[in-house]
Amino acid sequence: MSVEVGEKVIGKVTGVKPFGAFVELPGGKSGLVHISEVANKFVEDINEHLKVNDEVEVKVLSVGDDGKISLSIKQAQKPKRERREKREQSPEDFEKKLSMFLKDSEERMSTIKRQAESRRGGKGR
């Protein structure tokens, strides 16, 4: 089975190095996920994200003339917009959270005002 640029496939991590991870693709070919393509945030230690035998979804970034395959885990994930849509909430949930926030905020402000007044010696002084 040949892999095509832009294709998303499931592979198995066969090796982890400080610079990236080698992933075996369907059909027996292998590719490299560079450390910069592991996650949407800075990855200092790749071992905190991947280990040998992990199954990962990868996107094929390029296939070189020499047969080297460049892969990305982060680009295989759903776009941010799609993830954001799942987090959206109903208006009732928003109103409930807003109400709780306002109540908490008012309680904190009254506590701060009381503390400030006690330091100044109370009202009217």
Query: Where in the chain does DSSP place strands (E)?
Result: 8-17, 20-24, 30-34, 55-63, 69-72
Place of tokens 């309680």: 107
Q: What is the pLDDT along the chain (125 residues), one digit of tens a residue?
A: 678 899 999 999 999 999 999 999 998 899 999 999 999 999 999 999 999 999 999 999 999 999 899 999 999 987 665 555 556 667 888 888 889 899 999 999 998 888 888 887 765 55
Task: Give the three-state DSSP class for 94.
Answer: helix
Can you give the pLDDT at residue 23? 97
Q: pTM of the entire structure? A: 0.61
What's the CA gap between 63 and 9, in Å, rounded? 14
CB 75 within 8 A of CB 6: no
Can you give the pLDDT at residue 117? 85
Can you give the pLDDT at residue 95? 87
What's the CA gap between 23 and 52, in Å, rounded? 9
Closest CA to 1 of 63, 51, 87, 49: 63
